[in-house]
Chain A
Amino acid sequence: MFTLPLNLAKLRRWRTSLLIFLSVVGPGIITSNVDNDAGGIYTYSVAGARYGYALLWTLIPITAALIIVQEMVARMGVVTGKGLADLIREEYGFRMTFILMVLLLLTNWGNTVSEFAGLASGMSIFHVSRFISVPLGAVMVWLLVIRGSHKTVERVFLTACVFYVAYLVSGFLARPDWESALLGTIVPTMNLSTGELYMILGLVGTTIAPWMQFYLQAAVVEKGIKVENYRQSRLDVIIGCILVSVVAYFIIVACAATIFTGGHQQINGAADAALALEPLAGRAASALFALGLCNASLFAASILPLATAYTVCEGLGFESGIDKRPHEAPVFYSLYTGLIILGGLAVLVLSESKQIPIILFTQVANGILLPFVLIFMLKLCNREDLMGPHRNSRAFNIIAWTTCIVIIVLTLFMVVRSFFPEYVP
């Protein structure tokens, strides 16, 4: 009992660091969770449905890569106090920025379409027509951002993060074979079948996207995090990246335990996975899966257009910010509103088969954009005049460059394949 005063002091220190952590938490966790959007959930479901527990191990290197990339942008945000688009504009000029911003706009429009499509299919499980769910979702998202204050928006977003628990629960409800799951997690296996290879490419592509880097850095800057508190901010990023993978893990496990084991491996959408769960894992698991999908889609549909509008305006020098009136920041508001309206309309007007070209096109734009973003990011993160003592160390650079080059090669492979499926194995 003599150690009590010491423990108290320790406890107080702990409390202080917890308080600092809570004041910087948000950007990393929110960004990562948007990453588990409709497209992500679909990819994870297919991975589980087709290959069972076999690809679970890939989540470990993917998480590591995600942490490496996200940590750099968060660090740049904290140290320079400027967004990534700002830095790219200042270093690489107007034309390069313009091209990147156009690509980003296209990619994120495509992503917004897939979010609304995810919402529509998730709600269809609950027998709600897409002609009701999509317009309603779009209006909700728009109002939240335009009418809500910064604090409410962040709180709503953080609450939405909690709803990802739905996937954890449905993972357990699916009564998976934990032994095989564990085996699949720690023993890397690869049949080198082309199907499996592409599945892995899909998993990487859906997890590491260009827009996230812009959004995360801007969010870190917006939060005004001090260099002294960078450690807590890094923790926020790391926790966020791990959360993404935990959610992805449970989605794969749920689908592996039911759809893969049950023998029907063909699913064509995230909502299909929810439907396929029902006879095998029960109504509750299926409903939770669908609920998770709606939540994720809505969440991403509100952040993506907003992040895009912010980034484009930042890079090209237009006024931006939700605290400005529409006539003060016309470009910002038109981009934000336009993305939501065009994203929602595409889902209402086009049938599912007609949305495929949009998705393909988005993937290509994404594949062109990502290498530029990663390389610029790495170069900026090595600049002494910008980063000072916080620039990349040599050891970190080796890891970071290797990671980025692997990601770039994988992404380009995906792009080539979607154009010329017959020439690529």
Chain B
Amino acid sequence: MIYFTELENLPAYDAKGEYLGRLVELAINPSQNSFLVAYFYVLTPQKKLLCIEHGWISTISVRAVQTSVPANEIGSSTPDEGLICIKKDVLDQQIIDVNDRKVVRVIDVDFDIQPDHKQTELRIVAVNVGTAAAARRLLQGLFAKHRIRTIVSVLPTQTIPWEFVNLIESDPARRVKLRISYNRLAQLHPADLADILEELSRDEQRSVIESLDDETAADAVSEIPTRMQVALLNSLSAGKAADIVEEMAPDEAADVLQELPPETSAEVLANMEAEEAEEVRELLGFEENTAGGFMTTEFIVLAETATVEAAVEALRNFSGPVETVHSVYLISENLELTRTVPLARLLIADRDSRLGDLVADPPISVPFHADKKTVISTFHKYNLLTLPVVDDNGRLLGVVTADDALELVVKEK
């Protein structure tokens, strides 16, 4: 194992043992092999940058790098956009640790030296983020390398294997060249993904969000704090912002749009599908911090005269996430909320029985202007999973779900 801190500034010699210069940069070519150090850059005393290909390296140690070719065969060039440069792109930069689902700043990079009769290969193993790496970088150059190794060996070390490292690149063109994808992020739980997003700068957030599919992006955006949602959506194009907001639950979408500057918010709404935009617009009409402001308009409502079969059919065609449905709501001819039927009741009832005849809970509801306290206490008192919100004539307007109520409780504290 050898560390970048130890490799940096190593003297390099050619096949005849002549001094070439100092090693200043290592580059990986991700389109060929994402672990192998493909190029070694050496700065000559004349300030020329030599580029040594990996096949030309005969030995590497903590003392020197030796090439198997003479100096005159080594050309000079600067690393191009398609290479991952360890010093420029990895060291001291933030990376995503996909395994531990967090963002960390790289302190050092660990390599493995693999001698193979005539040539030596250097393979990247991990990035180092521990105290030991920090101490090594602070002490580098002040003591001999072996002494530093002894001092540092007592300190805790913490590494992230290279295969779990996701580099962050905000320039989309370069991201493609470097073959950086955020596919692995899409498989994380939205809440974990949101934690990662929170650690990134705005441009980086945008680059991650733009590469995710709209649904995953929406799930993750729903989980980040409102202030950050606003900044993020603000920085996206209105079209992309609309795509994401469309995929969010209408109440979440309304909450964000409420916080956006009025012009941006109007622009996003204009870019959304008519139906979704309409739903959100309705919610935007309600005051913040009232039941109307907390509710969602994604719920299932049926006439009392409808059959169980019709209810199951409605569930099948439900547009929102079906796992959030816990009850269906029954309304009378003049649209008043009359009963709440839990899903379990539907399950055990005959397919053709009338919904109005099923054993149902008396409808607990709150008016749209009910305040936060009333909403929370009603949930608590009746042990609810969902709470219908009605207008002054008892007509059903929307539903507050338990997860939103829980959020209110947490925010209250």
Binding site for B on A (CB under 8 A): 16, 19-20, 23, 80-82, 86, 89-90, 93-95, 98, 150, 221, 223-224, 226, 316-317, 323
Contacts and interface: CB of A to CB of B under 8 A. Distances in A.
B196 to A, nearest CB: 12
B312 interface: no
Contacts of A89: 92, 105
Contact of B107 (A80, A94, A224): A94
20 contacts: A16-B263, A20-B261, A23-B261, A80-B201, A81-B202, A81-B204, A82-B201, A86-B201, A93-B91, A94-B134, A94-B138, A221-B202, A224-B202, A224-B230, A224-B231, A224-B232, A226-B234, A317-B105, A317-B107, A317-B129
B235 A226 contact: yes
Nearest to B108: A94
A323 B105 contact: no
A224 B227 contact: yes
B225 interface: yes
B282 to A, nearest CB: 24
B315 interface: no
Contact of A94 (B92, B204, B225, B261): B92
B203 A81 contact: yes
A93 B225 contact: no
Contacts of A23: 261
B104 interface: yes
A224 B137 contact: no
A253 to B, nearest CB: 40
Given A95-B137, A224-B232, 7 more contacts: A19-B262, A82-B201, A89-B105, A95-B140, A98-B134, A226-B234, A317-B129
Interface residues of B, number: 27
Contacts of B263: 16
Contacts of B91: 93
Query: Nearest 6 CB-CB pairs, A to B?
Result: A224-B231, A317-B105, A81-B202, A81-B201, A94-B137, A82-B201
B21 to A, nearest CB: 20
B75 to A, nearest CB: 26
Nearest to B93: A90
Contacts of A317: 94, 104-105, 107, 129
A160 to B, nearest CB: 21
Contacts of B129: 317
A92 B280 CA distance: 47
Nearest to B225: A323
Contacts of B201: 80-82, 86, 221
A86 B138 CA distance: 18
Interface in B214-247: 225, 227-228, 230-232, 234-235
Contacts of B104: 317
A314 to B, nearest CB: 9
Contact of B138 (A19, A90, A98, A223): A98
B76 to A, nearest CB: 22
A16 B262 CA distance: 9
A22 to B, nearest CB: 11
Contacts of B227: 150, 224
B73 to A, nearest CB: 33
Interface in B94-138: 94, 104-105, 107, 129, 134, 137-138
B102 to A, nearest CB: 8
A321 to B, nearest CB: 8
A92 to B, nearest CB: 9
A23 B94 CA distance: 29
Nearest to A16: B263
B3 to A, nearest CB: 13
Nearest to A320: B199
A93 B92 contact: yes
Interface in B62-107: 91-94, 104-105, 107
Nearest to B141: A95
Contact of B228 (A16, A224, A316): A224
Given A19-B261, A20-B261, A224 B234 contact: yes
Nearest to A151: B227
A82 B204 CA distance: 10
A319 to B, nearest CB: 8
Interface string B250-266: 00000000000111000
A23 B227 CA distance: 11
Contacts of B94: 317
Interface in B136-175: 137-138, 140
A316 B232 CA distance: 25
Contacts of B202: 81, 221, 224
Contacts of B107: 94, 317
Nearest to A150: B227
A82 to B, nearest CB: 5
Nearest to B91: A93
A126 to B, nearest CB: 35
A250 to B, nearest CB: 35
Contacts of B93: 90
B92 A90 contact: yes
B24 to A, nearest CB: 13
Contacts of B230: 224
Residue from A16, A81, A86 whose CB has the most chain B CB atoms within 10 Å? A81
Contacts of A323: 225
A82 B94 CA distance: 12
Nearest to B5: A94
Nearest to A91: B92
Contacts of B225: 323
B300 to A, nearest CB: 35
A150 B225 CA distance: 11
A89 B350 CA distance: 68
A374 B228 CA distance: 29
A221 to B, nearest CB: 7
Contacts of B262: 19
A386 to B, nearest CB: 11
Interface string B166-198: 000000000000000000000000000000000
A143 to B, nearest CB: 14
Nearest to A147: B413
A81 B225 CA distance: 17
A150 B226 CA distance: 12
Contacts of A81: 201-204
B138 A95 contact: yes
A86 B203 CA distance: 14
B198 to A, nearest CB: 8
Contacts of A316: 105, 134
A94 B225 CA distance: 30
A150 to B, nearest CB: 7
B392 to A, nearest CB: 32
B355 to A, nearest CB: 44
